[in-house]
Structure formats: structure tokens, C-alpha cells
Amino acid sequence: MTAVVAVVLCVTMIVASPQTAPKPGPREKVDTAIGEAIQLLESKDYRTFLLQFVPPDQVKARGGSPEALDAWVEYFSSQADGVLAAFKYARTQTPTYDEAKTTATYPLKGDSGPKSLRMVKIGRYWYLGNK
């Protein structure tokens, strides 16, 4: 009798426990990645922005020392307002995708600067594709 009760309890626990899929992170979908990038840039968290939105191979090419990262963040801070404006404008546009759906290109406006903002999916995450 005890064995039957134990089996029933185990089956009940397995059936009753909901199997929820983990919620995707904001960088796993291009539209939420753009929102996350805007939030980081608005809060002036340039270090996190660079580490999360620049493709990993480009981050490695910058060097791994804290001094190199500090210099990169300082350099980027002088360009951050333009990047923020591009992300904000891109958020209002509809992207075009490549056939594999791993590159999303957003048109930008203006005579100076890039004509588009490109996001590329590497693994699970979207990164800034413009160099």
C-alpha cells in the first residue's frame, strides 16, 4: 500500500508541476534588442552596451585588458548620442531581413552618417552589425 501511495504522489507531482519555457532575454528578438540598446544608451551604460551589442569577435579584437576597455568606452561615449538617435529612429521603421532571417536592416534618415542600421543574429543574440 505504501508503494502505491508513493507512486501516486510521484505521478501527481510530475503532472501537477508546470513545465514553463524560460522567457527569452531581450537580445533574443531584434525588436526587444533595439529597446534594450536604447535603454543602455539612455542610461549612459556604454560599457554594457559595447559588451552586449558589439559582436564577440569585434570585442575580442579590442583587447581584453581593463585599460583597453576603458579607452574604448571613453572613445564610444563621444559617438553615443548619434548611435542612440539611430536606434530610436530604427525602432520606428520596419526592417528588411535576409533570407535566413539573421540580418535585419533598418533604413535611417539624413544626409550624413550611415543610411541604415543593421542588426545581425549570432547564436541566440542580436548584435549591431554596422562597423
Question: Total structural domains in the chain?
Answer: 1
70, part of any domain: yes
Q: What is the average pLDDT across 45-68?
A: 92
50, part of any domain: yes
For residue 19, what pLDDT is reported?
59
Let me know if residue 76 belongs to a domain: yes
Q: For 15-52, how does the pLDDT look when each residue is reduced to its tens digit (9 = 90+)?
A: 444 556 677 789 999 999 999 999 999 999 999 999 99
Residue 13 lies in a domain: no
20 inside domain: no
Q: What is the mean pLDDT of residues 99-118?
A: 91
Domain that holds residue 124: 25-128
pLDDT reported for residue 11? 42
- The three-class DSSP label of residue 130 is coil
